[in-house]
Homo-oligomer: A and B are copies of this chain.
Amino acid sequence: MPMNFDLVSYLKERQVLINDSLEKYLPLKEDLTRGLLKAMRYSLFAGGKRLRPILCLAAVETVGGDMELSLPIACALEMIHTYSLIHDDLPAMDNDDLRRGKPTNHKVFGEATALLAGDGLLTEAFFVMSNQGINSMVTPQRLLRIIQLVADAASCRGMAGGQIVDLESEGKEISFPVLEFIHAHKTGALITASLEAGAVAAGADSAARDAFVAYGRHFGLAFQITDDILDVIGDSKVMGKPAGSDEEKGKSTFPALFGLDRAKEMASQHVKEALVSLECFDQKADPLRALVRYLLERRK
């Protein structure tokens, strides 16, 4: 990686681009449904890192495509991620009061509206992805493949499946394969789909797509392990949510299962393997390289 790649500026620039597009796709309107739109927008603009859309745009650029072509799809991925956070935070699920330093959606708008805000964002994601007007640079065949792979990643075979196993495992001793299943599905599936969606939008070949799937898998696990580590040693103020909440809820985590040192080693190993999977690409993959390296330094 060239030493002059400035990840912080890169992330900021991309976040602005994504936020502007999200604003365009989901503007506030003055009608009877204003209350619902406000709730949807509250969580969508609550300071998310925009990791999934950034990975999607970076995948397009890695294979030489124009990132603009996947901007609506990138925004749809963020809508799906946001819906999952709103529903996960509900009292019936993780019952969290804070997210990114702000009250969770149901704390501000009530449970019924939060539930609908999640439903609305999930639905809107598919509206945006199927809109041929704003996706005019992607062929209908490719758009359909993208919608299908994103739906699959969010479905009971992906994110929702990971969440049910996570919920059913609370307070239980679980094995390493089950822990890996939870994270590969709950977090990993949508991260991998973000990269794959970019690859399909740009017309990448199957070798490139396989490389992204491998990168996404290791990225997702490194992300989750560092997330678990932060929950043990992180600064609540920086993270915007209380540390120690996993233990309190009886959640199985990598540090709980393996200890902190071994968990750190595992995170490093996944970062290394993610970098190996990018060896088939030239310097256009530098943003992806920098992004996965950054996981080892993250503080929130």
Residues on A facing B (Cβ under 8 Å): 32-33, 35-37, 40, 83, 87, 90, 92-93, 110-113, 115-116, 118-120, 122-124, 126-127, 129-132, 139-141, 143-145, 147-148, 151-152, 154-157, 160-161, 163-165, 167-168, 178, 181
Contact = CB atoms under 8 A, between A and B. Distances in A.
Given A144-B132, A160-B36, A151 B124 contact: yes
Contacts of A181: 32
A114 B147 CA distance: 24
Given A120-B156, A123-B155, A144-B130, A164 B87 contact: no
Nearest to A39: B164
Contacts of A93: 112, 115
B140 A155 contact: no
A33 B165 contact: yes
A32 B123 CA distance: 26
7 contacts: A35-B164, A36-B164, A119-B122, A122-B122, A126-B126, A132-B144, A132-B148
Nearest to A149: B130
Contact of A32 (B87, B124, B129, B165): B165
Given A132-B141, A147-B126, A151-B130, A116 B33 contact: no
Nearest to A33: B161
Contact of A115 (B37, B90, B151, B161): B90
A182 to B, nearest CB: 9
A80 to B, nearest CB: 9
A177 to B, nearest CB: 10
B35 A160 contact: no
A28 to B, nearest CB: 11
Given A35-B164, A93-B115, A144-B140, A156 B126 contact: no
Nearest to A164: B36
